[in-house]
Amino acid sequence: DTGVSQDPRHKITKRGQNVTFRCDPISEHNRLYWYRQTLGQGPEFLTYFQNEAQLEKSRLLSDRFSAERPKGSFSTLEIQRTEQGDSAMYLCATHRDRVFTGELFFGEGSRLTVL
């Protein structure tokens, strides 16, 4: 069990480009969250999955953002037509248990810089 893995750790892109982040959860962790964090702020919820089902999406998640979790394992977060305001750390967190929430485990995050 190597923990939650996120890739890439840092992405620099030009405005208007598409970017995709990947999160590999801890084995058997069936719930997976995406959060966004800007400097000096706590993480803001974006979306989460129970296995392959996307259960909730934040209003922060505009239609330029899409997240998937095919087969209920790894997840991807894609941002289309990036804007400078998308620059942030994108954090993935996972935990086990279907109904009762347990301890939340975070990856190291993927930092996005939009020029």
- Residue numbers of the site for another protein (CB under 8 A)? 4, 6, 33, 35, 40-45, 48, 50, 55-56, 89, 91, 93, 99-109, 111
Q: For another protein, give the closer residue by CB, 50 or 80.
A: 50
CA 17/CA 4 separation, integer angstroms = 26
Polymer length in residues for the chain: 115
We find the least distance from the C-beta atom of residue 42 to another protein, in angstroms, to be: 4
Nearest Cα to Cα of residue 43 among 51, 33, 35: 35
We find the least distance from the C-beta atom of residue 25 to another protein, in angstroms, to be: 13
We find the least distance from the C-beta atom of residue 81 to another protein, in angstroms, to be: 26
Neighbours of 24 (CB within 10 A): 18
Q: For another protein, give the closer residue by CB, 50 or 76.
A: 50
23 phi and psi angles, rounded to 5 deg: -130, 125
We find the least distance from the C-beta atom of residue 52 to another protein, in angstroms, to be: 15
CA 72/CA 57 separation, integer angstroms = 17
Q: For another protein, give the closer residue by CB, 107 or 114.
A: 107
CA–chain centroid gap for 36, Å, is 7
Q: For another protein, give the closer residue by CB, 39 or 70.
A: 39
